[in-house]
Amino acid sequence: MKHSSSSGLVYSTETGRMCPDCRQPVAQCSCKAKAAPVGDGVVRVSRQTKGRGGKCVTLVKGLALDTAALSALGKQLRSACGSGGTVKDGVIEVQGDHCDLIMETLTKLGHQPKRAGG
């Protein structure tokens, strides 16, 4: 059985997931700082009910922030609305229809949000 020099430890019970590039624990990864922000800079606020069992969710897309700043902004928006939510794949999801409140909060924070969808 051949062992490749490029193969490395993917998971460790001691530290959890390992980064395949720098071979450090994901929490201490040195190559994630090089990752470019996902958003295009145009902040779009919309609401969606599709595929959620009729429940309404407000989405914030297009923020050109890194993952740490995006999750911090998501926490600010959720606390401003007084509801729950999450950050998935560069999109902030806030439970409920809070488009106007989120747009107002983003404007105060220095962003220029646009309303997307109907």
> pLDDT tens digits for 75-103?
999 999 999 999 988 889 999 999 999 99
CA distances from 30 to 3, 8, 65, 68, 97 (A): 25, 16, 18, 14, 38
Domain span holding position 76: 36-115
Pairing mode, strands 43-48 and 113-115: parallel
State whether 8 and 49 are in the same domain: no
State whether 25 and 41 are in the same domain: no
Model pTM score: 0.66
State whether 27 and 44 are in the same domain: no
pLDDT surpasses 60 at 37: no
State whether 30 and 43 are in the same domain: no
The number of distinct structural domains making up the chain is 2
State whether 8 and 45 are in the same domain: no
pLDDT surpasses 70 at 5: no
